[in-house]
Amino acid sequence: MVIKVLGPGCANCKKLEAHVREAVKELGIEAKIEKVDDFKEIMVYGVMKLPALVVDEQVKVMGRVPSPEEIKKYL
């Protein structure tokens, strides 16, 4: 499983990455977590609001920071 956190590195982007890591740890699953801050790569996903969460190349959330519990549902 590949999980991507899309965003330029703002506070919400860092918070989303922390929530993702917490959810992965709690579920005990193996996942590659990538931070994507290149706007050209972000635009490939058609995301207009940041931060965004991408799981296995599918955008799951954009423009907000979901809780670790919500993130678990997408994993």
Q: How far from 27 is each of 3, 31, 49, 66, 74, CA to CA, in Å?
A: 14, 11, 27, 16, 12
Residues forming the active site:
10, 13
